[in-house]
Structure formats: C-alpha cells, structure tokens
Amino acid sequence: MEHLNAASAEELEQALLICLRSPRWSRRVAEHRPYPDLASLLAAADEAAYDLSWADLTEALAAEPLPALPPDTYAAAHTALRAAHAAYEARFGHVFVICLDGVAPAEVLDHLLETIRSRLTNDPEEERGVVADELRRLAKERLVRALRGAGPQSTCGWRRVGAIDHSEPAPGR
C-alpha cells in the first residue's frame, strides 16, 4: 500500500487504467488516497465504479483488450465463440466482457459459451447492469493482482475477459 499511496496522482492514475480503462474511475480512486489497507482500496474502487455513467463504461469497454484463447482450443470452439461474440456485439454494440476469476481452466470454454448465449437474451438495460458488474469485478481482480506484484494482466492472462481474439480484427478495431 505504501507505494500506491506514495505515487504521484498521474502515475497512479496511469497504473489504475490497466485495472479498469476509465479515466474517471482511475482519477476517483487516486483522489481518495491514502488507503490504509487492501479492503479500503477495494471499497473505494467499487464505489468509484458504481458512480460511472454508461458513457464511462462504454469508454472502458472500448479499451478492453481482446485476449486470445489458449492454444489448445479446438477449431469448433473458435467458430462457436466467434459466432456468439459477433451476435453479442451486433445486439449490444460493444464487446462481451466477463470476469472468469474462479472458473476452472477446463470449464472456461463451456462457461463462456453458456454465459454469452444466456446474456444474449437480456434486454439492453439489463445487460448494461451485468456489464457494469463484470467490469467492477475485473477491476477488483486486477487491483488485487497488481498489489500482489503479479501485475494486473498476469496469472490469469487470457482468462480475465470473455472477449475473444480470433486473430482477425473485429469490425471497427
């Protein structure tokens, strides 16, 4: 916590953008320092995320990386996920995002397909709430990993979001 509290506001805001790509969120979290412990930081991160508008969340979604699936994923899974992801983007106008923390590696593909298909039945307003919750969960997971020295994008790597990179740029990217 000391290095977080001692960093300049600009340095901390830039570091926080890796956890949730919302400048408003990173400013809010940086402004509420000092943090006595991880629980205080996570509470502030949650509070700042709850205050984000849909425009702020859309900005964060647009900047989410599109990680690759594990190399041993079979072609049919790529095809199924590509189709589900395209349907999701067509319906909601943004990438599909999901926090996969706690999902066993052997269950990731099934979980992704099941979840994206289930969420396709949501109305847009309901999905906005789900997306906001998933982004909050991702931000907290990334913060914890960063503070443990693993870096916000290591250890889970591709597992952190359900947006899939199929080695072809998505339209508009």
Instruction: Show pLDDT as tens, one digit a residue, over the chain (173 residues).
Output: 888 899 999 999 999 999 999 999 999 999 999 999 999 999 999 999 999 999 999 999 988 875 556 666 677 777 888 899 999 999 999 999 999 888 888 888 888 899 999 999 999 999 999 999 999 999 999 999 888 875 554 323 223 334 433 333 333 33
Q: How far apart are CA 82 and CA 46, in angstroms?
A: 31
Q: How far apart are CA 66 and CA 163, in angstroms?
A: 5
Q: How far apart are CA 69 and CA 168, in angstroms?
A: 13
Residue 108 CB coordination number (10 Å): 19
Q: How far apart are CA 154 and CA 171, in angstroms?
A: 27
pLDDT value of position 54: 94
- Are the CB atoms for 109 and 11 separated by under 8 Å? no
pLDDT value of position 66: 59
pLDDT tens by residue, 105-118:
888 888 889 999 99
pLDDT value of position 164: 37
pTM of the model: 0.77
Domains and CATH numbers, the chain: 2-160 (1.10.3330.10)
Q: How far apart are CA 162 and CA 113, in angstroms?
A: 9
Q: Where are the alpha helices (DSSP H) in the chain?
A: 2-6, 9-16, 23-31, 38-50, 54-62, 75-92, 108-119, 124-147
